[in-house]
Amino acid sequence: MSVARRRKSRHSSGTGGNCVEVADNIPRTVPIRDSKRPATHITVPPTAWAAFTSALRATGKP
């Protein structure tokens, strides 16, 4: 996943705390990783990621 263009949540602090990073430039998959363990990642289909983030937004919590 070295070509992945990763981004952190805007809710993540810049101090290196608990950050989830996702990449949005890989076709047909969304790689997700913990910034403290960059060598380890999981991948999910874009539809699953969209459903997950939509459910989070529906709770009204970051």
Q: State the sign of the Cα–Cα–Cα–Cα dihedral 32, 49, 3, 19.
A: negative
CB-CB neighbours of 22 under 10 Å: 19
Tell me the C-alpha distance between 41 and 27, whole Å.
Answer: 16
Q: What is the pLDDT of residue 40?
A: 87
pLDDT at 2 over 80: no
More confident residue, 1 or 23: 23
In tens, the pLDDT along 4-53 reads: 788 877 766 666 567 888 988 888 999 998 888 888 889 999 999 999 98
Residue ranges in 6-45 assigned as alpha helix (H)? none
This prediction has a pTM of: 0.71
